[in-house]
Structure 1
Amino acid sequence: MSTPSTDQHARNQRLGLWLGILGVAVFGITLPATRLATGTAEAPQLSPWFVTLGRAALAGLLSAAFLLVTRSPLPQRRHWRPLALATLGNALGYPLLLALALRTVTAGHAAVVTALLPLVTAVIAALVLRQRAHWGFWLCAVAGSALVIVFSLLRASPQGGFGLDPADLLLVGGVVAASAGYIYGAQVTPALGAERVICWVCVLALPVTLPATFVLWPTAPVAPVAWGGLVYLGVFSMWAGFFAWYRGLALGGALRVSQAQLLQPFFSILAAVPILGERIDAMTLGFALAVVATVLLGKRLSQPAPPVKSATH
């Protein structure tokens, strides 16, 4: 017989998963929005450096306004370290390392490596938050990541496929930076609230991102759609999407909700249809269904064990 506390816990887990999926859907549009902002090699628009720093600066200004309007108190001393680590990972590290890597490798190549993000996030969650789960969860996590990697390899093969390249180190570093940022942000979410976590993350980056944005401001004409892509990245990918994402991690558990990231490549593919005019093939749909199955099965099998107790002396 269920108790009120058990029912509430189950509702929180369901809500956390759906909030995580919403956040991932918002992040999924990042790829086509970035393509709009940067343009192509044949028709370049905004530079990747400007897009990376400009979107963080825009999110930082919005965050500062939000914190002022809501009269948010300053974080306590113990909160600054995880906030600083989340800033380095989510606002600076991942976007910068990804942009640098994409100078020398294809987007398909990068997708292969960054598809490992859910598994890396789960591993960091286990290490940092001391969360453990049923072996079936880890099996589903590995299987889902393997499906995404195989899918990415098959899609990347016509463009040269996956090969060893120095940029792989940048991509792996970016995945680790993003995963660590997610987890450290989730660590302070219960105390600060999801909205304030991402706001403080973006504000902490402003001393770097705002001056750099003005220095890199484009002098050549830029198409309106490129500016539209940048606005989406700053308002949603870098800011509002994290409201749902951090809240989902806090309510549903970082280990479980992190697996929703497996859906992100497919959200990007779906969003690219109306935004970029791309088409969806049968292979894409088949892999998407298989990945969704692993995420749902992993949620069913994930039963975190009690936190590891620290030794006392």
Structure 2
Amino acid sequence: MLAFSGSLPATAFAMEGLDPYLVAIGRAVAAAVAALVVLVAAGAPILPPRAHLRSYLVIVAGVVFGFPVFSGLALDSGASTSHAAVVVGLLPAATAACAVLRAGERPRPLFWTACALGAASVTVFTLTRGGGHVTGADLLMVGALLSAAAGYTEGGRLARETPGWRVISYALVVALPLTVPVTAVLALSTDVRPGAASLAGFAYVSLISMFLGFIPWYAGLAAGGIARAGQTQLAQPPLTLLWAWLLLGEDVGPATIGAALAVLACVAMTQRARS
């Protein structure tokens, strides 16, 4: 979660000099280069087993394309990093639902109570900040968290049999036939004005958010159960708020802090609920 908590602020920095779509898709190409180096160095096959290809396509759609594109567009459309961070607090509930539907997990009622409280806190915060309405940026963030939930669940399932580093590496490699040409077109057709902050942000979302962060994440989902371990994502909003305040100078008001703390309290409840 520490690695992922910097994703939204880093995306905001990257978009200072790069097109949102270029940041979203291009980072998958950069991450795939690192993944190929690791696979070759470890002597592992470059491609995943054909029997698991469908699962890897779900991961590609969810975390290689879905979350980066939707979250980047949400930030580009005017959502602050702190606002987007609190909306992401719904991600654990979405992941838990996917774990029930796809991975066959059955958490206890206390678990679902904590999920519902966390989701309610985020929903109230979103409606309050939007004047009682859900904004376009909020809908984009919902698309982002649903995409991530599907990709997390499928990756967690595969990580029960395949090491987490190979799961994310294979997903990035499988996506290359699409990410490389799209990145090339975007690089040639969009306004590219990379500065130091933009390049640093792009490097972070490429190597940390898109690759290294997934290695312990998928391993943790496989070991602790996707639904239960996924609730540690509720700690992500407070961390992201901290980075938004420190790095972007965003004004984090009492309502934002209160919503983040309410979501964080739900983490403790979910961790008491054994599957």
Calculate the TM-score normalised by the size of structure 1.
0.78
The one-letter amino acid paired with 2:91 is L
Map 1:39-54; keep pairs closer than 5 Å: 39=16, 45-54=17-26
Maintained 8 Å contact 1:54/1:209: yes
Contact in 2 for aligned 1:28/1:268 (Cα 8 Å)? yes
SS at match of 2:8: helix
- Does the 8 A contact of 1:27 with 1:237 survive in 2? yes
In the other structure, the counterpart of 1:77 is 50
Among candidates 179, 185, 200, match of residue 215 of structure 1: 185
Partner of 1:150: 124
Residue 96 of structure 1 pairs with residue 69 of structure 2: yes
Deviation at 1:252, TM superposition (A): 1.0
C-alpha distance in 1, partners of 2:154/2:101?
Answer: 11
Deviation (angstroms), 1:85? 0.8
Paired with 2:79 and 2:63, the residues of 1 have a C-alpha distance of: 22
Structure 1 residue 55, shift from structure 2 partner: 0.9
CA separation of 1:72/1:166 partners in 2, compared to 1, >3 Å: closer, same or farther?
Answer: same
Tell me: CA distance 1:100–1:225, structure 2 relative to 1, closer, same or farther (3 Å): closer
Alignment of 1:58-207 (within 5 A): 58-73=30-45, 74-104=47-77, 106-107=79-80, 113-154=87-128, 157=129, 160-161=130-131, 163-164=133-134, 170-207=140-177
**Letter in structure 1 aligned against 2:182:** A
Q: Deviations over 1:121-160 (max 9, x none)?
A: 1001011111101101100111122223334444xx2xx5
Distance in 2, matches of 1:197 and 1:111, equals: 26
Q: 1:282: how far off?
A: 4.8
Match of residue 14 from structure 2: 37
TM-score (norm 2): 0.88
**1:84/1:101 CA distance change after superposition, 3 Å:** same
Structure-2 residue corresponding to 1:21: none
The 1-side partners of 2:84 and 2:131 are apart by: 10
TM superposition shift of 1:26: 1.2
Q: How does 1:4-23 map to 2 (within 5 A)?
A: none
Structure of larger gyration radius: 1
- Aligned counterpart, 1:294: 266
SS of the residue aligned with 1:192?
coil
Aligned to 1:262: 234
Cα 1:282–1:166 change in 2 (3 A) is closer
Residue 175 of structure 1: CA displacement? Answer: 2.4
> Which runs of 5 or more residues in structure 1 are unaligned?
1-23, 40-44, 305-313
Question: How much identity, in percent, do the aligned residues show?
Answer: 39
User: Which residue in 2 is equivalent to 1:27?
Assistant: 4
Q: Determine whether 1:303 maps to 2:274.
A: yes
Aligned residue type for 1:72:
A
Q: Kindly provide the amino acid, as one letter, of the partner of residue 267 in structure 1.
A: L
Q: Give the unaligned 5+ runs of structure 2.
A: none
> Amino acid of the residue matched to residue 38 of structure 1?
M
Partner of 2:205: 233
The Cα of 1:287 is off from its aligned counterpart by: 3.9
Q: Give the match's secondary structure for 1:125.
A: helix
